[in-house]
Amino acid sequence: MALDALLEEGSVGGAARRLHLSEPATSRALGRIRAVIGDPILVRSGRAMVLTPRAQDIRTEVHALVERTRAVFTPPGPPDLGSLDRTFSILGEDVSISVGPGLLAFLRAAAPGVSLRFLGESPSADGHELRDGLADLDIGVVPDAPPEIRVEHLFTDRVVAVVRPGHPLAAAPLTLPEYAAAGHVSASRRGHLTGPIDEALAEHGLRRTVALAVPTFAASMLVVARTDLVGLMPRTMGRETIASLGLVAVEAPVELPPIQLSMAWHQRYDADGAHRWLREGVRRTVSALTADPA
């Protein structure tokens, strides 16, 4: 900074004023610069100071380096959305149906060069996709995230049982014995055939039969639409899927743990302007989805 000021001002006094230093302090800085560069930089010519040929040669380069350094240490401003060309990768196969369309509309309204890529969720829960830069966000249930992963709660949903139209269990309030006696489809990215509802049934001495396990809620609803199997679905986030398939949501006969929908990202994106804007888009999209229908 001192060298740039001396080269731009061509005098110790002018450089001191630019740097908000005293002239003696600036003179000492000039002495150190001379020793390092091996050139006097400024020399007297009559009553004025002039730059040496070496100083003239490096003036433009030094100023450019200072400007680049200043840019590095300047906090980033908001992104230029109109020219933003970026693909965001999101872990969350199920939310691609519920969140995807609204989020894409929000993003492309301001940034037509932005694209979304929803990825299948990993069977592991260690956040390595976020850590390794394979995904920008994880939207879903995010348990036990490692310390470098930021987690923000978005919405608490509750689970309902879902059956096809005309299913025997769709006409009347569902009882525990009826529910346990039916065939079931499980939605589990890890292929689990049991879950919290099995623990609840066991407390009543009941056990259900899971005939099929699929990796996503959306896949389970397609199975429900074509069979007599009973599925489970988040009521609010799955509202459009249930309606589009013409399925019937039935209150589960036992209280189930709520689903905590969150988004997670690696801490390296905390200050990234485009990523912060993406996260705001997720918040707004989820808020619109979870608002009470008119």
pLDDT 10s digits, 138-179: 998 888 888 899 999 999 999 999 999 999 999 878 889 999
At residue 21, the pLDDT reads 86
Average pLDDT for 29-34:
87
User: Is residue 214 pLDDT above 80, yes or no?
Assistant: yes
pLDDT score for 123: 53
87-112 pLDDT per residue, tens: 999 998 888 989 999 999 999 999 99
Residues of the chain with pLDDT > 90: what percent? 46
First to last CA, the chain: 61
pLDDT on residue 128? 82
Tell me: pLDDT of 122 over 70.
Answer: no
Q: Report the predicted TM-score, pTM, of the whole model to 2 decimal places.
A: 0.72
162 close to 155: Cβ distance less than 8 angstroms = no
- Residue type, position 1, single letter: M
Q: Is the pLDDT of residue 126 over 80?
A: no
Residue with more model confidence, 193 or 91 = 91
∠ CA 231-235-236 to the nearest 5 degrees? 145
Q: What is the pLDDT of residue 133?
A: 87
Q: Which residues of 236-257 are buried (b: 16+ CB within 10 A; e: fewer)?
A: bbbbebbeebebbbbebbbebe
Pick the closest to residue 59 from 132, 3, 102 (CA basis). Answer: 3
Report the pLDDT value the prediction gives residue 188, as an integer from 0 to 100: 85
Inter-CA distances, 20 with 23, 26, 41, 62, Å: 9, 10, 21, 20
Rounded mean pLDDT of 56-81? Answer: 79
The pLDDT value given to residue 265: 95
Question: Which pLDDT band holds residue 63 (cuts at 50, 70, 90)?
Answer: confident
pLDDT at 12: 85
Beta-carbon count within 10 A of 9 CB: 18
pLDDT at residue 106, rounded to an integer:
95
* Distance from C-alpha of 136 to C-alpha of 115, rounded to nearest angstrom: 12
What is the predicted pLDDT for the residue at 127? 60
**DSSP-derived 3-state class of residue 120:** coil
Residue 75 pLDDT: 62
Across all residues in the chain, what is the average pLDDT? Answer: 88
Cα separations in angstroms, 138 against 188, 193, 215: 16, 24, 16
**Could you tell me what percent of the chain has a pLDDT over 70?**
94
Task: Please say whether the dihedral angle defined by the alpha carbons of residues 258, 259, 264 and 270, taken in this order, is positive or negative.
Answer: negative
pLDDT band at 293 (very low <50, low <70, confident <90, very high): low
Alpha-carbon Rg for the chain in angstroms? 31
Q: Rounded CA gap, 18 and 12, in Å?
A: 10
What type of residue is 72?
Answer: V
**Residue 155, beta-bridge partner list:** 261
Residue 70 pLDDT greater than 80, yes or no:
no
* 211 phi and psi angles, rounded to 5 deg: -85, -25
Would you state the pLDDT for residue 29?
85
Q: Tell me the average pLDDT across 71-89.
A: 80
Give the largest Cα separation in the chain, rounded. 105
Measured in whole angstroms, the distance separating CA 227 from the mean position of its chain's CA atoms is 37
User: What is the tally of helices (H) and strands (E) in the chain?
Assistant: 12, 12
